[in-house]
Amino acid sequence: MGLNKVGFILLVIVYGGIISGGNMKMVEGDKICPQICYEAAYMTCPSTGDDHLSPACNCCIASTGCTLYNSDGTPICTASSSSNI
């Protein structure tokens, strides 16, 4: 009886792995998107010129071409189309 339960649990784990593995998204390996939030002071985007905008958390979620800056004006990162996941 105990062996049947272990076998059943193992079967559920294997099938779950197969099902979840089938739903995985393909991601290009050349760009890593950190799930951290920079302490950017402001952001600029091509669509608004040099206007200082409220910054996005990081370049992965910023619109393409937007740049995040530190308070001293040094750029942190610029969003590219491949970084928007």
Task: Look at the chain and report how many structural domains it folds into.
Answer: 1
Tell me if 24 is assigned to some domain: no
CATH label of the domain that carries residue 44:
3.30.60.30
Whole-number Å distance between alpha carbons of 53 and 36: 19
Question: What pLDDT, on the 0 to 100 scale, is given for residue 2?
Answer: 60
Tell me if 85 is assigned to some domain: yes
Whole-number Å distance between alpha carbons of 11 and 71: 55
Distance from first CA to last CA of the chain, Å, rounded? 47
Digit-by-digit pLDDT tens for the chain (85 residues) are 566 887 788 777 777 666 666 554 444 555 667 778 889 999 999 999 889 999 999 998 899 999 999 999 999 999 987 655 4
Contacts of 48 (CB under 8 A, 6+ apart): none
Determine contact, residues 58/36, Cβ cutoff 8 Å: yes
Tell me if 1 is assigned to some domain: no
Domain that holds residue 80: 31-85
Tell me if 6 is assigned to some domain: no
Q: What phi and psi, each to the nearest 5 degrees, are found at residue 50?
A: -95, 10
Tell me if 68 is assigned to some domain: yes
